[in-house]
Chains A and B, each alone.
Chain A
Amino acid sequence: MPPGSESAVALLNRIAQGDRDAFGRFYDRYAATAFGLIRRVVREDAAAEEVLQDVFWRIWQEAAQYDARRGTPEAWLIIRARTRAIDRLRAMRRRSKTFALPIDRSVERRPDVEAENPGIAAEQRGLVESALAQLPVPQRRVIELGFFEGLTQSEIAARLGEPLGTVKTRVRSGLERLREALKGQGNRES
């Protein structure tokens, strides 16, 4: 268990009891991580800010639902942030498809261009993290398509033209490898 996670559990317990100070500390500790992830998924600052507010508002209201047996508070927050961000991304894509403003049609094409080449788009954004970059491209792609683009396993399989079983295996081996890579970075830093 990483240092500080124990008191993060204590913070969540206090938040569940309505402690605003604990909420402020929890926000200060994790907002940047959540915001970085949300920004990467929705790719638009104003939308990312709204999603972040929504995520933390729900933390305030739903802190009692946190179950320490299911993972660290950080993981709990990140999964929630990711889920809300993907919801927002899907809504944005639906709307951009029906968008009919006559002045500029290029907005209809933009999300699809990026979706076709998530790896390239990610590199252009300068957002490929070093740990993710250490993975072989096929493993990295399935993780990016799933975690950052919000595609399901069937959608990833269809997109890549690979069997579903291959996609699952790649996700698993990719995540295991990523875990080792992150550990390695952690060791170097400490």
Chain B
Amino acid sequence: MSEISGLRPEEIAELAAVYALGGLDGEDRARFEALLDAGDAEAVEALRVHQETLAALATQSAHQPPAALRSALMARIAEDARAGARPPLPARARPRRALWPAVWAGALAAGIAAVVVGLWLSTSYDRRLQALAQEAAALRAELTRQQAVLAILRDPATQVVALAGQPVAPTARGRMLWHAQAGGILVTTGLPPVPAGKTYQLWAITGQRPPVPAGTFGVDTGGVASLQVPPLSGVERVDVFAVTLEPAGGLPAPSGDMYLAGKS
């Protein structure tokens, strides 16, 4: 019997299991969270065990994310670190002792200064190397992108689809070059500016199947945009290309107004 809640161990074990699963609601949730807040050993331990079981379950369906994701994240945190959003690395600092003999203090200070300068130099060297690596990666990506564009333009199998403005943007126009294996390129004119927190999103639609998201994009002041679309897995022939306005980041299924659409 828990002293805090009056719950039996059986009940705590059940609440912990459902809580670990993320499914505890209502009064049960309030009660269990109160137990956790109070540091109830039984509740904390039961939850820990169940969470570790679920983590172990998750490792069974591990799936390697695309490498580009890692680079993007590392670049983002490098930006964050450079902007001074984080404290400097305290691992370099050494705890100081109060009673060092004065005669050694000067020598030590000089030594520490040398170490600090050395660390600073190696840190800035690291940064420079990282910047160069990022630059090289960006150039490689650009080269790959241009090669893909050329391949699409050269191939006679490339479809050209005209996209017409829909009632919300009657003067907008678009052209889609689409190649099932190589991907495609969308160019647009006359699209209205994108409101804050929104993005345009391209969709590839085949027959009665759900629209497949094919990328998000913004436009310049003339409503001009060009978007390169990678090949879409499982998508061969495309019947309709459409552009909708969606929340920033895009969605897996369209929800907003349609701005452009065209049948191939």
- Given the known inter-chain contacts A36-B63, A96-B253, A171-B14, please indicate yes or no for A75 contacting B209, CB distance below 8 A: no
- Quick one: which of B21, B25, B44, B242 contacts A175, CB cutoff 8 A? B21
Chain B residues lying within 8 Å of A36, measured Cβ to Cβ, are 58-59, 61-63
B73 at the interface (CB under 8 A from A): yes
B251 at the interface (CB under 8 A from A): yes
**Cβ-defined contact, B89 with A132, below 8 A:** no
**Cβ-defined contact, A101 with B17, below 8 A:** no
Chain B residues lying within 8 Å of A178, measured Cβ to Cβ, are 53, 57
**Cβ-defined contact, B21 with A147, below 8 A:** yes
In the complex, the chain B residue whose C-beta lies closest to that of A154 is B25
A79 at the interface (CB under 8 A from B): yes
Which of B77-85, B148-156, B173-181, B191-199 faces chain A?
B77-85
Main secondary structure of the interface of A (DSSP, over half): helix
- Given the known inter-chain contacts A49-B66, A168-B17, please indicate yes or no for A79 contacting B254, CB distance below 8 A: no
A137 at the interface (CB under 8 A from B): no
A63 to chain B, nearest CB (A): 11
B90 at the interface (CB under 8 A from A): yes
Contact with A along B31-75 (1 / 0, CB 8 A): 000000000000010011111111111111111111001101110
**Cβ-defined contact, B65 with A35, below 8 A:** yes
14 A-B contacts (beta carbon < 8 Å): A14-B91, A28-B70, A32-B64, A35-B64, A35-B65, A39-B63, A81-B58, A92-B253, A95-B255, A98-B255, A127-B61, A129-B61, A150-B22, A179-B53
Known: A20-B81, A107-B211, A172-B18. 9 other contacts (CB 8 A): A17-B87, A35-B65, A37-B61, A49-B65, A50-B249, A53-B73, A92-B252, A96-B253, A104-B210
